[in-house]
Amino acid sequence: MKKLVLLIFIILIPFVPLFAFNSKFKAAYAIGVFDSSGNGENVQHVRTTKNDYNDICYSKIFVVGNYYNLKPVVKIGDSIGHFQSSKPIYNNRKIKIGEVLLYKHYKVTKGYFQVFYKKKLYDTKVFVK
> In tens digits, what is the pLDDT along the chain, a chain of 129 residues?
777 776 676 776 665 555 444 448 889 999 999 998 889 999 988 999 999 888 899 999 999 988 777 899 999 999 999 999 999 999 999 999 999 999 999 999 889 999 999 899 999 889 998
pLDDT score of 13: 67
Q: What span, in angstroms and rounded, lies between the C-alpha atoms of 99 and 97?
A: 7
Domain ranges of the chain: 24-128
pLDDT score of 12: 65
Q: What span, in angstroms and rounded, lies between the C-alpha atoms of 17 and 121?
A: 28
**Helix H segments across the chain?**
2-12
Q: Nearest CA to 89 among 123, 66, 114?
A: 66
pLDDT score of 113: 94
Distances (CA, A) of 14 to 8, 19, 20: 11, 12, 15
Beta strands in 1-129 (DSSP E): 27-35, 40-42, 55-64, 73-76, 79-80, 82-90, 96-108, 111-117, 120-128
pLDDT score of 83: 96
